[in-house]
Structure formats: C-alpha cells, structure tokens
Amino acid sequence: MPTPPAPENPLGTNPAAVPAPTWVLSSTAGMRLVDPPAAASSAAETSLPEALVPPVVEVPAPILFPVPLSPVVPLPTVQSPDGKLVLTDTAVTVLGQTFGLRELERAEVQHVRWVLWVLLGGLSLAVVTIAFLQNWLHTGPAMLSMAATALLLAYGQRGTNRLRLWLLGRLPAHFALAGDLSQWQRLVSELNRRVVRAHDRAAAEAAYSLAVAEAERLVRQAQEAAFYPPPTFPTPFS
C-alpha cells in the first residue's frame, strides 16, 4: 500500500528540524501512525552564552572635611544697678568672684528669711512682754525693749535674696543679694540663657574637632595605602 503524502506545513516551520510522521504495517494487518523520533538538539541550539560579569572594583569614598563653624557674635555686657553682678559673654562676676560660663550648670535666685534673727527677735519679744506683765520692768524700759526686739523680728522677716550658682563637679556657691527679687530674676534668666549658649558652642567645637581629626586619619590611611600597598603571598593552589 503506498505511503500517504505528508501533511503540509501550515506554520512554515523547518521540515528538517521537525520530520513528518510515517505510516507502518503492523502485525494485525493494519496501518498505524508512528511518531518520528525527536530530533536531537545540537549543543549550539540549547546552550546559551554565559553572561560576562565585570570585576568588582571598589572605588574609595571621597574624604569630606567638616564645614568650619561660623563665628559667634558676642553678647553685650549686662550688670545690676548696684554693680554686684556683672554678666559678660564668657563669664559672670558676683561680689568680686568671677566664674566662667562653661564652669556653671545653672543659676537660681530666691527670697530667704534670716531664721536666726526671726527666732531671736520672737523669743526676745516674748520674754520682754512676760517681764512687763509681771511688773519686773517699768514702762519705759519695757517699751524700748519691745521696740528693739520688734526691729530684730522685722529684719529677720525681711530676709534677702540668695543667689546659688551650680558649678560642674564642685559644690554650689551662694551669695546674698539685697534688693528687688524681680530684678535679680531677670538677670538670672539671662545668665542661664548664656550658660546654655556657651555649652552648646563648646559641644559644637568638640564635634568639629573630632570630625577634623577623623578626616585627617582617613587621609593618612589613604596615603599609606597608596605608597605601601599590602603584600601578597603565593598560595599552594595558585
């Protein structure tokens, strides 16, 4: 029986790459369709070209030096009306003693009473009053004694303004300042503001110095690596 013609190739594929099926005579006297063996793909058709990986080259990062600090405009000098407290841009002088602003942590002022004079005046007034009521004193000396003890009591009650300067790493310093409390409170507020400003400036200068030192260290390392490259030792597998 003649072999039927192969079907046409509608897709336009290569006949050499995909062979047509064939008809064979089986033992049962029948015809059956046998698929042709798959064409072995060549190595050139299946293998893909390997991608070329460029070598990794480490580019050193540029060494950046920090920006210099801008100059600080000095603040004007402030002082109390009696001249007991003088505040400059870098220091404070209280009753002739000078402290740097970077030595201080903070300052505070508050009104205090002289407890000793209050106790002495109150006890003396009580004793004089009891003596006068017991007729141990005449009227004249009793009135004079009562007036003196009342003055002691009033002086102790009047008190003073205590200025406390907190020093870094040392005991605080105390000063007695007479006058209006609101006036000293304004000066102490300005003092605290300048203390914070001085500490912020010191911290910025320290950070700038550390950054410059680190940049100089990196520059020295780069120069040493350029002039003295690290030695290479042969390996037994090279």
pLDDT, tens only, 8-28:
554 444 544 555 555 555 555
Q: In this predicted structure, what is the pLDDT of residue 219?
A: 84
- Note whether residue 133 is domain-resident: no
- Note whether residue 167 is domain-resident: no
- Note whether residue 134 is domain-resident: no
Q: In this predicted structure, what is the pLDDT of residue 142?
A: 86
- Ranked by mean pLDDT, the top range of 63-67, 143-147, 231-235 is 143-147
- Note whether residue 238 is domain-resident: no
Q: What letter represents residue 211's amino acid?
A: A
- Note whether residue 194 is domain-resident: yes
Model confidence band, residue 51 (pLDDT cutoffs 50, 70, 90)? low
- Name the residue among 175, 187, 183 with its Cα closest to residue 112: 175
The residues, ordered by sequence, that sit 6+ positions from 156 with a Cβ below 8 Å of its Cβ are 113, 114, 115, 116, 117, 118, 119, 120, 121
Task: State the maximum Cα–Cα separation within the chain, in Å, rounded to a whole number.
Answer: 167
Q: In this predicted structure, what is the pLDDT of residue 227?
A: 72
Token pair of 177 as six digits: 């300042």
- Note whether residue 92 is domain-resident: yes
Place of tokens 């990794």: 56
Number of folded domains that form the chain: 1
Instruction: Using the predicted structure, report yes or no on whether residue 85 has a pLDDT greater than 80.
Output: yes
Distance from C-alpha of 20 to C-alpha of 7, rounded to nearest angstrom: 8
Q: In this predicted structure, what is the pLDDT of residue 44?
A: 46
Give the range of the structural domain holding residue 210, as residue numbers without chain letter.
75-107+180-222
Give the pTM. 0.59
Instruction: Using the predicted structure, report yes or no on whether residue 30 has a pLDDT greater than 80.
Output: no
Q: Which 3 state secondary structure label does DSSP give 64?
A: coil
- Note whether residue 85 is domain-resident: yes
Q: In this predicted structure, what is the pLDDT of residue 155?
A: 82
**Mean per-residue pLDDT of the chain:** 78
Q: How many CA atoms lie within 13 A of 137 on its CB side?
A: 15
- Note whether residue 81 is domain-resident: yes
Model confidence band, residue 89 (pLDDT cutoffs 50, 70, 90)? very high
Of residues 105 and 222, the one with the higher pLDDT is 105
The residues, ordered by sequence, that sit 6+ positions from 184 with a Cβ below 8 Å of its Cβ are 80, 85, 109, 161, 163, 177
Token pair of 79 as six digits: 């002082």
Model confidence band, residue 57 (pLDDT cutoffs 50, 70, 90)? very low
pLDDT, tens only, 92-120:
999 999 999 999 999 999 988 888 888 88
